[in-house]
């Protein structure tokens, strides 16, 4: 028996490009809706894959990057993030963005979550990583970026997410996932120790 619950109920009649730049394309679509009625659908097509990386030091600290976000017209504290050109490796971009924005060089990197960024209006997808076994170097931000870097305990960063001081979606997902990640039995021992230290879980039984 065929399961058709995930079949596409939309029908695209025509598509035209309204606006394009090196990062996005805005498309206007004439469609038939799932109800069979005519309609329109605007979609933002992204030319990069979103990448976020949460660095964790051996003593349980992490690093946040602060910058003013033009589209929101407000300041934002975030994990290191960037755009990965489609067709290239998100892990390579994660390591590069981490080094450029914070100066950190990670010996270990692990994907922890795939993300659809805003699936009602755009096709942007993302991957979140956690990085550990870090060496500190010199940050090399792009000339258009005015960044402030803050080192703090993982627990403090998680509290910022829980109290609304961090609102960036990639950062929220990565930080809120930490307690679940720390409980995974197959986690590398050095990463587990760092998470336990940073989240204040050092006294728990690990099984």
CB 191 within 8 A of CB 197: no
Calpha distance 166→11 (Å, rounded)? 38
The label of the residue with tokens 């964790």 reads: 56
For 123-145, how does the pLDDT look when each residue is reduced to its tens digit (9 = 90+)?
999 999 999 999 998 888 777 77
The distance in angstroms from the start CA to the end CA of the chain is 42
| Cβ neighbours around 8 below 10 Å, total | 7
For 52-103, how does the pLDDT look when each residue is reduced to its tens digit (9 = 90+)?
999 999 999 999 999 999 999 999 999 999 999 999 999 999 999 999 999 9
Q: Looking at residues 158-169, what average pLDDT do you find?
A: 97
For residue 181, give the nearest of 167, 198, 164, 195 by alpha carbon: 195
Q: Looking at residues 107-118, what average pLDDT do you find?
A: 96
pTM of the predicted protein model = 0.90
The label of the residue with tokens 């922890």 reads: 112
Alpha carbon separation from 23 to 4, 95, 117 (Å, rounded): 35, 21, 15
For residue 64, give the nearest of 100, 92, 102, 15 by alpha carbon: 102
CB 38 within 8 A of CB 32: yes
């Amino acid at each position: 028996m065929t399961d058709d619950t995930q079949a596409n109920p939309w029908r695209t009649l025509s598509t035209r490009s309204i606006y394009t730049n090196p990062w996005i394309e805005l498309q206007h679509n004439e469609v038939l809706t799932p109800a069979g009625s005519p309609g329109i659908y605007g979609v933002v097509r992204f030319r990069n894959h979103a990448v976020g990386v949460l660095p964790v030091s051996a003593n349980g600290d992490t690093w946040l990057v602060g910058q003013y976000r033009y589209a929101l017209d407000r300041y934002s504290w975030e994990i290191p993030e960037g755009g990965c050109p489609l067709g290239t490796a998100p892990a390579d971009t994660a390591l590069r963005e981490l080094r450029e924005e914070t100066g950190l060089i990670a010996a270990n990197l692990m994907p922890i979550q795939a993300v659809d960024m805003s699936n009602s209006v755009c096709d942007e997808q993302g991957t979140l990583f956690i990085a550990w076994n870090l060496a500190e170097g010199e940050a090399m931000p792009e000339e258009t970026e005015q960044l402030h870097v803050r080192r703090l305990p993982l627990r403090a960063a998680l509290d910022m997410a829980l109290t609304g001081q961090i609102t960036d979606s990639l950062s929220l997902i990565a930080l809120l996932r930490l307690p679940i990640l720390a409980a995974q039995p197959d986690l590398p021992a050095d990463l587990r120790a760092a998470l336990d230290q940073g989240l204040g879980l050092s006294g728990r039984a690990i099984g």
